């Protein structure tokens, strides 16, 4: 015997509340992804040239995914409030697609992390080799060296084979203290060794990737599996409404 309408109202109310909360969190996730995509595109563009020789589509993918999640997050809230089973089922389908996409992205990033490191080594070595001090890649190299307190690819000696070194020496962005660095010092191999950072930038970046990959993968999989919860809530709510012919008042 099917439960009465009075018995199912509290259940549906709880399911609606949980699904609205999930939809709001889902919407916030979309806003974050959209913001990260735009920030990546406009603020990190030059740095991406150090990872790949060609422009990356990752910022567009992040921004596009974020925008879609924002729209469907709003749709999820609307579908929950309206209590229409077909809307809830459509929302569940979208959550399932997002789950699959995030799962595939997380697994791919974890599997191909070694290829990413290899690509970074090649691109960064080329950026150091053809450094000129004024183009986007060169300025990105300077920024990395200043921020990470590193110099060159493996170490400061990477600059000795660059086209920049014969005329100008090691870039000033390698200096530990600018006031103690002169152009003459940076052209002198012996003196420069005591004025610049000794550690290479490649090692620091790779260490960061390896140390944080587990955290990044955990967060990605956590977000992905949260969509399973949303899908279950949407399907359960649609089932209760359809079975018990519950109508919104």
% of residues, the chain, pLDDT over 90: 24
Query: What pTM was computed for the model?
Result: 0.68
Res 212 pLDDT > 60: yes
pLDDT in tens, 136-187: 888 889 988 988 899 999 999 999 999 999 988 999 999 998 887 888 888 8
- Burial 51-68, CB ≥16 within 10 A → b, else e: beeeeeeebeebbebbeb
The band of 111, judged by pLDDT with boundaries at 50, 70 and 90, is confident
The band of 53, judged by pLDDT with boundaries at 50, 70 and 90, is low
Cα separations in angstroms, 106 against 32, 167, 195, 216, 220: 17, 45, 41, 8, 6
Domain ranges of the chain: 3-247
Average pLDDT rounded to a whole number, residues 208-234: 79
What does pLDDT average to over the chain? 82
Distance of alpha carbon 76 from alpha carbon 67, whole angstroms = 14
Distance of alpha carbon 129 from alpha carbon 131, whole angstroms = 6
């Amino acid at each position: 015997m099917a439960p009465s309408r009075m018995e199912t109202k509290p259940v549906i109310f709880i399911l609606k509340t949980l699904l609205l909360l999930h939809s709001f969190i889902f919407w916030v996730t979309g806003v974050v992804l959209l913001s990260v995509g735009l920030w990546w595109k406009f603020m990190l563009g030059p740095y991406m040239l150090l990872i790949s020789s060609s422009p990356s589509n990752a910022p567009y993918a992040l921004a596009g995914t974020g925008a879609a999640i924002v729209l469907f997050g709003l749709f999820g809230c609307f579908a929950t409030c309206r209590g229409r089973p077909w809307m809830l089922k459509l929302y569940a389908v979208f959550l399932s697609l997002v789950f699959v996409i995030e799962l595939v992205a997380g697994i791919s990033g974890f599997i191909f992390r070694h290829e990413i490191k290899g690509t970074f080594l090649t691109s960064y070595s080329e950026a150091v080799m053809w450094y000129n001090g004024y183009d986007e890649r060169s300025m990105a190299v300077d920024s990395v060296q200043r921020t990470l307190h590193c110099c060159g690819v493996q170490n400061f000696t990477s600059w000795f084979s660059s086209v920049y070194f014969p005329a100008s020496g090691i870039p000033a962005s390698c200096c530990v203290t600018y006031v103690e660095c002169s152009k003459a010092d940076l052209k002198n191999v012996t003196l420069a060794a005591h004025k610049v950072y000794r550690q290479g930038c490649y090692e620091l970046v790779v260490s960061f990737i390896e140390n944080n990959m587990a955290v990044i993968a955990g967060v990605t999989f956590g977000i992905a599996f949260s969509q399973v919860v949303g899908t279950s809530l949407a399907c359960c709510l649609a089932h209760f409404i359809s079975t018990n012919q519950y109508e919104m008042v």
